Structure 1
Amino acid sequence: MHTKNILYLSYDGLTDPLGQSQILPYLIGLSQKGYYVSIISAEKRENFDLRKELISKIVEENTISWHPLFYTKKPPVLSTLWDIYRMQQLALQLHKRYHFKVVHCRSYISALIGLQLKRKTGVNFIFDMRGFWADERVEGGLWKLSNPVFKSIYTYFKNKEKQFLREADYTISLTHQAKQIIHGWPGLSNIPIQVIPCCVDTEVFRIPPKNSQGSSHETATFTISYLGSLGTWYMLEEMLQFFKRLLLHKPQAQFLFITPDNPQFILQSAADLAIPAEKIIIRKAERKEVPALLASSKISIFFIKPSFSKQASSPTKMGEILSMGIPVICNAGVGDTDYLFETYKTGILVKELNPAGYDLAISEIEDALNIPPEQLRATATTYFDLQKGVYLYKQVYDQLFY
């Protein structure tokens, strides 16, 4: 029987792209440090069918015990309640077998199960909050507070949020900004919070050899890239508006989207702004294919809607891009981004999302391109390195075990 038994709960799937970049790498690192990890995850059937063998091989090689359940999408609310019930029952069964010392809960749905497990069995509870989730749902337009059902759900989770924070043996925050906000709330000024941003495997995302970089480095073409899903928070229209301004200064520019999203949505948005279709390149990529595609760009961009909830956000793509020695263009007011740009030279911080703000940023591109790639990568290894993230998680685990 292992003595360092951890139960990890995630309502995100290991077969999701996020599972491969932001869940498995940490748990593999912790497994290598002597912790025995059991994972319950909610898998989307399409992704599970596509990547089950790959993920199964990875967890087996790292003595991680994986217990996938299928995520149910419909009907709304009731499907989530059903998923919570199934995860709850499985968690209790596994606890009887493994006698977990710690339950590590990724975000709020999982924390509902973890807090109940703590109250029932006395297991140590880690609330890995990943952001102000209920506020994200409202500010992202997914929960309309004019709807009494969604208003009730929002109120419920905001109350639960305070319980999670009060009763957690440790809380993990992605940003110092969010930690500061929480410590300012009544009764929470002294709760233990460890800040661990979304980290990157700097061995996967490396500065490419000059002779292997994409053709845009050797020709007159200027490629700007966007990496990841667009979803609720990423501002496609504003990024395309920026690109349209960029074309006035660099007519040879092209915009590369590395994304699993529907190409027609992006192409239609570009057409609405009279951006020629040939200027837009869209590629879908598995995680292992991303670095080679990213290497074809000279600079990478992302704009996130600034809001209260986004003060707790740490974009995964930031570390991945910097780790490859590519400068970043992004907007102010998101997570610890302003601090990063003030402390390190990482690229261009756009303070106003309007033509004047875009033109100012465009005027700074040449300076950004002159930042040595090694310097950009050094920022990634200082702030976003996976091994540092594993070390910080281990510190939290060690405090709860000893």
Structure 2
Amino acid sequence: MSEYRLLYLSYTGMTESLGQSQVLSYQKRIAKNNSVHLFSFERRSVTNQLKNEIDDKGIQWTPFKSANNKFLRCLTLVYFALFSLFYIKKNKIDIIHCRSFFMALVGLFCSIFTNVRFVYDIRGFWVHELVENNRLKNKYIKKILLHLQGYLLKKADQIVTLTESSVPYLEMFSKSKILGKVTVIPTCVDLERFNVDLENCRSRIKISYVGNTQERYQFDKVLYVMDSLKKLNKNIELEIVTQDINAATEALTNNNYDPQDFKVFSLDFSEMPKYLHSVTAAVFFMNETLTTKAMAPTKFGEFLACGVYPIVNDNGSDVPRIVRENHVGFVIDPIKIDIEQLYENILSSQTNEIKNRSFNVAKKYFDVEVGSRRLNQIYESFKAEY
């Protein structure tokens, strides 16, 4: 018999790599002993194969089609909230886990009319990110959203955040004492899929950039460092793995880099473990802003798990702290960099001892088994209430 009945709301789709790694990886473990229901918004077509895979994990999945314009999104959100409310009542749901701001609005609405326990999984400082990226200019809407953000934090029964660096700001946003209900669970990695291949000897140096090339990252500085390494050793392979292929190639052109020096392509999530086994080091520089303190890039844990040494900047987030404390990468200033020293450090990092250390750090901080247990502890804490 199930211990509890959980409804998980995700604006990220399960057809996306992020949904597969940061929703399904956790919930398939929760579903082994509990009743898990999942609602998600899908931007891509849902295949029968994916439906069957999720069903085989014991998860009852209801995909919703993501709307293309703001008006339809608003109507869809209203319908979604009402559908969720009736679903909760019909299926006697005990807990609603809401991944991100808009899903939390739905969770708050449902908690008002039912006895469901409300978990707010913040996934970052979304409202502040809109302001930083100049996508929220109306001061009245900004004020409303900031008030809602604080109210959601205050009213949530439990809060999940990605980083230790973000925790001090949560009480400031909510203007209330909430730290007792905050749990830090970073973006975790399935170590059965992402792990060190000690038998794979990397015969050539490959420097890689993986992921989004805009907004949160200083991609122009990444290109500068990669190009500087190439000038030291023309045999170094430079690769950019991204879904933003046009944006990446445009950035290369705008910064006057030779596109022939960089290989730009995309990969499916299923292809990433094998690819990372061929990579020597990975570069990513996050913006030095408030919102990046709440960021825990999925790729960081994947790099460590595969023995890929990360080259990062000191932006005040958890990433450079973990690198420094555990000696598993390089924290550099992209402007004042000693490129020859960095090159020597990369060469010296290619030992089995260092790769094993890197994997153990991934296991310590980013193991999805540990993350799933922390989630389950949150859910279990409500048992006395239902």
Shorter-chain TM-score above 0.5: yes
1:218-245 C-alpha deviation (Å, 9 max, x unpaired): 2xx4210112232421222111111121
Give, in whole Å, the separation in 2 of the partners of 1:303 and 1:153. 30
- The match for 2:240 is 257
Q: Does the CA contact (< 8 Å) of 1:182 and 1:188 recur in 2?
A: no
- The match for 2:40 is 41
Q: Does the CA contact (< 8 Å) of 1:348 and 1:368 recur in 2?
A: no
1:110-162 C-alpha deviation (Å, 9 max, x unpaired): 0000001111112100000011110111112322x2xx3xx333222211111
The one-letter code of the counterpart of 1:203 is E
Q: Does the CA contact (< 8 Å) of 2:89 and 2:114 recur in 1?
A: no
- The match for 1:237 is 220
The one-letter code of the counterpart of 2:17 is P
Cα offset, 1:11, TM superposition? 1.2
1:33-65 C-alpha deviation (Å, 9 max, x unpaired): x12111111111xx224xx33321222112211
The one-letter code of the counterpart of 1:56 is K
- The match for 1:27 is 27
TM-score normalised by length of structure 2: 0.93
Could you tell me which of 131, 144, 147 is aligned with 1:159?
Answer: 147
Cα offset, 1:194, TM superposition? 0.4
Give, in whole Å, the separation in 2 of the partners of 1:163 and 1:184. 12
- The match for 2:306 is 324
Give, in whole Å, the separation in 1 of the partners of 2:233 and 2:72. 49
Cα offset, 1:193, TM superposition? 0.3
Matched, 1:206 2:206: no
RMSD across aligned positions (CA): 2.0
Q: Does the CA contact (< 8 Å) of 1:7 and 1:39 recur in 2?
A: yes
Cα offset, 1:90, TM superposition? 1.5
Cα offset, 1:266, TM superposition? 2.0
Give, in whole Å, the separation in 1 of the partners of 2:224 and 2:193. 32
- The match for 1:172 is 160
Superposed counterparts of 1:95-174, under 5 Å: 95-143=88-136, 145=137, 148=138, 151-174=139-162
1:55-83 C-alpha deviation (Å, 9 max, x unpaired): 21222112211111111121x3x233122
- The match for 2:184 is 195
Aligned length: 382
Structure 2 residues without counterparts, runs of 5 or longer: none
Give, in whole Å, the separation in 1 of the partners of 2:214 and 2:53. 28
The verdict on how the C-alpha distance between 1:129 and 1:88 changes in structure 2, with shifts beyond 3 A counting, is same
Structure 1 residues without counterparts, runs of 5 or longer: none
Give, in whole Å, the separation in 2 of the partners of 1:57 and 1:209. 34
Give, in whole Å, the separation in 2 of the partners of 1:208 and 1:6. 37
Give, in whole Å, the separation in 2 of the partners of 1:265 and 1:121. 46
Give, in whole Å, the separation in 2 of the partners of 1:269 and 1:297. 22
User: What SS does the aligned partner of 2:197 have?
Assistant: coil
The one-letter code of the counterpart of 2:370 is K
Q: Does the CA contact (< 8 Å) of 1:253 and 1:279 recur in 2?
A: no
- The match for 1:58 is 53
Could you tell me which of 270, 273, 288 is aligned with 1:306?
Answer: 288
The one-letter code of the counterpart of 2:14 is L
The one-letter code of the counterpart of 2:194 is F
The verdict on how the C-alpha distance between 1:282 and 1:271 changes in structure 2, with shifts beyond 3 A counting, is same
1:76-119 C-alpha deviation (Å, 9 max, x unpaired): 3x233122112112202211221111110001000000001111
Could you tell me which of 84, 89, 101 is aligned with 2:82?
Answer: 89
User: What SS does the aligned partner of 1:176 have?
Assistant: coil
Cα offset, 1:357, TM superposition? 6.0
Matched, 1:68 2:63: yes
Cα offset, 1:348, TM superposition? 0.4
Matched, 1:375 2:357: yes
Give, in whole Å, the separation in 2 of the partners of 1:109 and 1:359. 47
TM-score normalised by length of structure 1: 0.89
User: What SS does the aligned partner of 1:321 have?
Assistant: helix
The one-letter code of the counterpart of 1:193 is V
Superposed counterparts of 1:263-282, under 5 Å: 264-282=246-264
The one-letter code of the counterpart of 2:122 is M
The one-letter code of the counterpart of 1:202 is L
Give, in whole Å, the separation in 2 of the partners of 1:363 and 1:55. 45
Q: Does the CA contact (< 8 Å) of 2:312 and 2:320 recur in 1?
A: no
The verdict on how the C-alpha distance between 1:359 and 1:108 changes in structure 2, with shifts beyond 3 A counting, is farther
Identity in percent: 24
